[in-house]
Amino acid sequence: MPVVKVKDDHGKTMTLREVDGFYLPVIRVPYDQEKEFRDRTDWTARSDDVLICAYPKSGTHWVWEITCMLLNGNAERINLMKEMAMLECLSRSALDSMTSPRVLNTHMYYGQIPEDFKRKQCKIVYILRNPRDVAVSFFNHHTRLLDYEYSGDWQQYLPRFIEGKVDYGSWFDYVVDWEASMNRNQQNPAHVVTYEDLQKDSVNEVSRLASFLKTEGTETLYKEIAKQCNFQKMKKEKDPLEDTAEWKDDKPGMYRKGIVGDWKNWFTVAQSEVFNAVYKERLASVTLPVPYTI
């Protein structure tokens, strides 16, 4: 799994790992990342595992926190980073040592998830977010996290994002593939949530998720979980396990703004027109409620 410098049309490079043509972030782990990634195909699932699945910067951490609280039956944050429960960051031994119920997360495609999770029909929570806000958030992630070694500006970055020259590839390919995969595998329980609905009515979305997970809870618990998982609260409290040395100026950037519609502060009229045309063409077959207005 070589480390590669992926160049864009402006000559700017982004440091990524490549495995069989698929881009991953350069993940700091104390084991052979290539071996573990390739061996994941026969990893063993448990029937009560829950998988949080989303393209990067779509609200994975947010939904992961909520899900952990619902399964624990309380509104207390756990002393664990999302990355420590992320399939592409785990070794087999680390996965096997986790206590049940395991709330896992991934940015991989459906077809890349270990088959045992599908055979045992583990619950999947799939998150969607307006791709223009995803692009802006991912740009800030890529320019601030040192391992990417990326110095392009927004004008240079947007074509890269559209073309999928980033870790996990194209947002458009990801969303199209996930919908098609869920349609082909309807025996696997899946729950769809959008970042925007979580912002609009977090208590209702927590309640919907609780029903899907079949957890016992009350309206009071759902309100408390929504309060504890409020973006501004999580940003203020930060994550004590997050390594500030990985970020530019030693300032962690996992939590930035957490708002809906920040793309309007970044996209020019010309960029919006290009993005709208690509969206309309590439997502013509998608029927899920992607939060986007052309």
* H or E segment and range at residue 281: helix 269-282
Quick check: 15 and 88 in contact, CB under 8 A? no
Pairing of strands 13-19, 3-7: antiparallel
Residue holding tokens 């030693």?
250
Cα dihedral 28→164→5→256 (10° resolution) = -50
Active site residue 107: yes
127 Cα distance to chain centroid: 8
Using alpha carbons only, give the angle 50, 54, 56 rounded to the nearest 5 degrees. Answer: 130
DSSP β-ladder status, 103-106 and 22-24: unpaired
Choice among 10, 61, 107, 141 that is catalytic: 107
Handedness of CA 135, 25, 118, 91 (dihedral sign): negative
> What gap in Å lies between CA 215 and CA 169, rounded to an integer?
34
Contact 258, 235 (CB under 8 A): yes
Counting other chains too, the contacts that 196-203 makes at CB distance below 8 Å and 24 or more residues apart are 196/129, 196/130, 196/260, 196/291, 197/291, 198/59, 198/62, 198/63, 199/259, 199/260, 202/226, 202/229, 202/230
Residues with active-site annotation: 107
